[in-house]
Each structure stands twice: as structure tokens, then as C-alpha cells.
Chain A
Amino acid sequence: MRIDELRATLHEEAHDLGGTDPIGPQARTAAVAERVRAGRARRHTTRVAGAVLGVVVAVAGLVLGPTLVPGPAPELVGPEEPMVQGPPRLAGFPMPPRLTVADADYSYLRSEQVDQSREILRVAVAPGNHRQVVGWATSFGSLGRVTLSIDGEVVARTPTGAFEYGAALTPGKTHLVVLHVTNPVPGRQMGLAIYGPVTF
């Protein structure tokens, strides 16, 4: 393979664009304008929600402040863990409470974890009304590769020792999600996590 062959191939493939005709610049400009509009709407919603939250906190402080300040501070009781807990660790990796996939936000729903000596982790996901997203992880120091299948179709092969996500589950259908490690290491973990659309 020579560099000039490489250049020629890149230019020819780029010229062909996979045998398709690209949309025109006017249509592209209109499509971008629509995305800008949607992006602005999202930003506006976030700002409004933040402002409303700020007002609520301020009002609560004004109302509850005077009644709380004079009293003696109550003794700390109960667990020292935060009241709102994040997702558990998956194969040692802290899972994010939220993911963004294809411009949509998903929040953690549940996860399953097994020892790699099992080689395969199968999780049946009940049909949802909305699209769900799968995350998967294998412990740091695992060997080989990990394969993710959905309904018998391999959708990802990734290196082990990482938390990955992105495989989507179509709504309205039960899915069988299978995680398989090529070189299982007993004592190391493998896990699957399901994220659903953010609802608030």
C-alpha cells in the first residue's frame, strides 16, 4: 500500500459518498436551524427549572428558617449515607446516575452483576414504553474481550476492564441481553445496567 493509493482511495470514496446524493445546502441549513431551535428549547427548560428550584429553596428558607434557627440543633440520627443514593458500583466501576445517548437523557434503573466464573450474564428486560439503554462493565484487570448481544445479535465487542454504554433497546418488546467474556477470571465481576428515559 502506497501513500498515493491511500490518498486516491480517500478522495474517491469521499467523492462517491457511499453512492448517495447528499442533501443540498439549503436543506442542511434548515435542518441545522431546527436543531438550534430544539437546543434552545432544552436550554430554556433547564434555565426555567433552575430558576423555579431556586425560588422554591429561597421561599422554603424564608418560611422554615425562623422556626429552625431558635431551636436546639437535633442530634444526628440515622445512617450517615446520603439520603439519595447513586447507582451501586458495577464490576467496581461507579456508574453515572445519568447518561446521554443520541441527545436523550437516561437515568439509572437497575443492574445485575455476577462473578466471571459464570462466563455469561443473561438479563431479560421487560418491554418499556420508551427506549432504554444498556451499560455493561467488567472488572479492571479482566482478560480478553467482552461481547454484548441483544436478542441473539452481537451488537458490541469491547475490551474488558471498562464501563461501556450505548446499546439501545427498542420500546414495546421484551429483550434478552447477554454479556459474555472471552477469558473469564474467577473473582472478577461482570455486570449489566439498564437506563431508562429521565422522567421528572
Chain B
Amino acid sequence: MNRAATEILLIRAGALAASLVLFGGFVALAGADPLDVFYQMYRGSFGTSFSVQNTLLRAAPLMLTALCTAIPARLGLMMIGGEGALVIGGLAAIAAGLGCASSMPPLVVTTVMAIVGFCIGGGWVALSGAMRAYRGVNETISSLLLNYIAIALLNHFVEGPMRDPTSLNKPSTRAIPAEDMLQSIPGLEVHWGLVFGVVACIVAHVLMMRSVFGFGAAIAGGNLRAGMLCGLPVRRMMIIASFLGGGAAGLAGMAEVAAVHGRANASLVTGYGYTGILVSFMARHEPLAIIPVALLFGGIGASNGLLQRVDNLPDATVSVLQGILFVVILASETLYGRFAFFRPREERVVVRPVADATPEVT
């Protein structure tokens, strides 16, 4: 492993350790024993097979919703519409699932639901991308507002046209038959949404880091005008990136309705989309880094229960930890290049005459 890579690994590990020390101080102030808190967190997140599965299950939707921010971010877009894409994708998926459940084999039903969820979720966020590309509407604001519209649409459909008349006090759509539900991964009690998440992150990595499209996106993201002068179809790329990001979040919604609820109702709105934004930022919008960061967040979520039940800490404790992690990791970004040890040997020897003459280092 070369020195630059070691630098990244060590600084991130250091940031993690520093966050835990700060968090330990915080729980000590709250009257709990930090060591016991850390032990419970380990037990709740990775300590038993049940805990590991709990972590994986919570990480799965976050991987997909994080991509909704991460992919457009390569083009310099700041999309926060994951929640809306998840909700509208889930709603569309259940509509498609109900439409074809009785006439087709389960695998086909699942595939149709996934495709519809992906396309509708993608189209939802692509609206934001298109408004930005053609009308200059700020995509952060428009994608945020689209979240509220999506939730309002969900409520309208489950309480109105798509309502199962027998769902009296919790308005819901009809349920898809049990055999059409998305099953668990063999050997685990985690549904296939986890595989969707991991595969989507890998595909997004290849697309954004290893393809011509990704290279063009990085150029346009670095300098929009330069990208346009190069003849890149920047507008179309913005819409495509938004579509792909929204599609990932829509797929998360499909997994929620197809694997967990079996129907669509207000329980679909739980904030996975917003947590995904945090995950994407902590992963520096790198699709592959989303996987471990999502696992970290999943683990924190999984340990939440034990902290409440055993250490009698309030539910907000894990939000504090997430906040500390977020701030410390972002702050640690400023440390890169500050430690002489990590610089390649030749650079340390060479006396740099002027600041902008950065030597080309390999």
C-alpha cells in the first residue's frame, strides 16, 4: 500500500477514533459509563449474528438513497430528493405489482416492480435535474420540495383511489400476495434489497469512475463552462445522472414495499432519504465508499435500541454520535497533505520554489 492510500486510511480511522472519544465524553456527561456504552454498541451492531443482520438490514436502503445524492454530485448537483424518490418509487412499484400480481409468476412480478420503481423514482429526481439544466432552478430546493409533493401524492393515493377499503384506521393499498414478496437472501434474514444496494454502488462506481460518461461528468462537475466548451452534452448528462440517482432511491422504495410492507402506506416515509444524504457526504460522494459508511450508519442504528434499553440513554444519543462523526470527518478533510510523513519521498526532498509549481508525482 502506498503512502497516499495509507494517509487516507489513517486519517479516516483517526477521525473515527476521535469521534468515539468525543462521544464517550458526551455519554459520560449524560451519566452513562462510556465503556459499557461502547460494549453495548458493539453488541448491538456486530456482536452477534442477529446484530450483524440487523446492521445489514438497516444499511441496505441507505446505500440506495445515498446514491441519489452521490451520483448527481459528480456533476456538481446537490440533490436531496432521495426521500421523495423512495416514496414515489415505492408507490409506483406497488401499483405495478398489484396490476400484474395475479397473472404472472413471482419473479416477473418482482422484476416489473423493480423496473417501475427505478424508472419512476428516477423520473422524479430527473424532474429536478431537468429544471436545473433548462431553467436554472436550484436543484437542492426543487428536489427538497419534490419530497413533500411525493409524500402528499402517497397520502392522496393510499387514502383515496388506491385505498384498500378494509384498511380502516391505517389507510393502505391492497397487499401483494405473499409469494410475490421479495424474499430473504438464502442463509440470511436480510432481504434482497441489500444485494440491490451493493450492486448499485459497484455499478455506480464503475460508471462514475471508470467510464467515459463518468469522466465527462467529472469535467462538467469541476467546471461547467469548460465542460460545455468541450462539447459535452452537459444538460443531458445532468438529467441522466439525476435519473440514475433517483432510480436508486426508487429501488429502495420498491424493496421497502416488496420485502417489508407488502403494501404502500404512510409507513414508507421514515427518513431513509435524508439519512442517505448524510451517508453520501461522509463517503465524499464516492459510490464504493458508500457501502462501508452505510454499514457504519446501519450499525449505529442497530445499536440504538440497546443504548436506550440497557444504558437508559435517550433516543437522540445516536443522532449526537452521527452528528459528531459528520463534523469530525468533514473537519478531517483539511488534514490531507499536512503530514510530511505521507508525502512521497522525492517530494519531500525537492525544494518547491513557488506554490503553484506542483510537481507531478506518481
Q: Do the two chains bind?
A: no
